[in-house]
Amino acid sequence: MDGYLTSTELADKLGIRHTSVYRYRVRGDIPDPDEYVGRTPLWKETTIAAWLEARPGHGWRKGRTSARDAG
């Protein structure tokens, strides 16, 4: 489908392994798929572009609570 990314294409775009896309989904670290074709999840390219734009920079971790982050 034009304008959509499969898990494999998304992994290539992010520079991660295909299996990591599944782990990211389970942890809630990537947006939910926009569509499914059968059991295949698909993401709109615009959804991923917006997510990448809003995503924190390298080294960010959920729940970080150091003194540096507090103020």
Span 19-47, pLDDT tens digits:
999 999 999 999 999 999 999 999 999 99
> In angstroms, what CA-CA distances link 14 with 5, 29, 51, 64?
11, 12, 12, 23
The pLDDT, as a whole number, for residue 9 is 96
The pLDDT, as a whole number, for residue 34 is 97
What does the chain come to in residues? 71
Task: Give the residue carrying structure tokens 């698909």.
Answer: 42
Q: What are the residues facing 5 on neighbouring strands?
A: 43
The pLDDT mean for the chain works out to 85
Tokens standing for 70?
Answer: 């507090």
Report pTM: 0.74
